[in-house]
Amino acid sequence: MPSAVPPIPGLRRYTRWDEIPDGLYTKTQLGSQGLKPGGEPVAQALYHGNCYAPLYLIGEAVAKRACTSAQRAALDRARALQYVCRRCGHQDHEPLGRGRWCDRCSVAAALFDLHDQAQQRARELVADPAAALLVVDVDPDALPTAQAVAVIGVRGRDVLYTAPAGEYGTPERSAVIDRLDALFADRCVVEEPDFTGPLSRFPDRLICQPNQSFQPGPDPVHPWAAPHSKVRPSVARIWAPWFGWTDRPSSTIPSIPSAWGDDVPLAWSRSLDLVADGRSMVDLLHRIADGSEPVWERAAWMVDGYGEPDLSWDRRRNGLGAAA
């Protein structure tokens, strides 16, 4: 119920129900008699302290059109379906709402929606000639010769730049940073890790002192090095929802396993050869884009046997809501 219904200008107001003369009824009162208003309201009554209900003349009221037997049957079926999951057929004791998902299928639908969005993001990157993958490895405990950077074009899989990263504060490191500034001035940056790391693979490690923490947020001087940017895509953030692994059955947040094992292997190479690692990640994006990359065999939408959730109705509803 709204917090307030303002009065209609120009109509007489009744602030007490016992003041209303005979022959004036609200729409609800007419409906209880099988009638509906046949004309414009002639007065209004105050209720709930700050709401006004229009009053209509009963002499102008007309009979409400009754439902046919077919319409009544259709309404009964629609009410009954409110308790039935539209994916698995489970019947709940309470209405399931507009989405009509049971608890289990709502988890599967949410994860599959993210899975589908990951494929759409991969397709956008694969089709974008300006998208480039930045691979960084600047482990402070590694030898300087093992620290390097590589830039791979996502669409053509070509090597755009590769060089030793050098040590922090050296002319070699400064030259690498200047080259990346120029290279990513008009390109979409794709990085490897998500917030789980590893730390040495974050692009912002190139502009930080060893073992120094970096404050989150955009860097006005080096935008490509902004840490943990949700706007900038990463291979890990695309692969995780595509693969569909979760740490518990009821979770709707796909993630990367904290410890890689035989059942969930790393989907791309991670070695000292950054060019090979970069091409491995670009190949992964291409496989996700064309749908050939494997999905976790225990993903929520695969283990229950009901197939991929149909999200067309939900997306159409959300699109109408956004348009409104």
pTM higher than 0.95 for the full model?
no
Tokens of 188: 């979409």
Please tell me the predicted confidence (pLDDT) of residue 223: 83
State whether 86 and 177 are in the same domain.
no
Q: What percent of the chain has pLDDT over 90?
A: 52
Asked whether residue 280 falls in the same domain as residue 137, the answer is: yes
Does 221 map to a domain? yes
**Residue 44: predicted pLDDT:** 95
* 203 and 283 within one domain: yes
Give pLDDT, residue 140. Answer: 66
With cut-offs at 50, 70 and 90, classify the pLDDT of residue 321: very low
* Residue 324, in any domain of the structure: no
| Residue of 114, 105, 113 lying closest to 86 (CA atoms) | 105
How many domains are there within the chain?
A: 3
Q: What is the DSSP string of 79-101?
A: HHHTTB-TTT-PBPSS--TTTT-
pLDDT at 67: 85
Are residues 149 and 194 both part of a single domain?
Answer: yes
- CA proximity to 195, closest of 237, 138, 136, 251: 237
d(CA 96, CA 174): 59
Tell me the per-residue pLDDT of 173-212, one tens digit each, with 9 for 90 and over. 899 999 999 999 888 889 888 766 677 888 888 888 776 6
Domain span at residue 227 reads 106-303
82, 158: one domain:
no
Q: For 159-175, how does the pLDDT look when each residue is reduced to its tens digit (9 = 90+)? A: 999 999 888 888 998 99
Same-domain status, 120 and 184: yes
DSSP per-residue codes, 290-302: HT-S---TT-HHH
Task: Count Cβ atoms below 10 Å from residue 303 Cβ, excluding itself.
Answer: 12
Burial 136-159 (b: 16+ CB within 10 A, else e): bbbbeeeeeeebbbbbbbbbeeee
Instruction: Over range 292-302, report the average pLDDT.
Output: 91
Residue 287 domain flag: yes
State the pLDDT at residue 249. Answer: 82
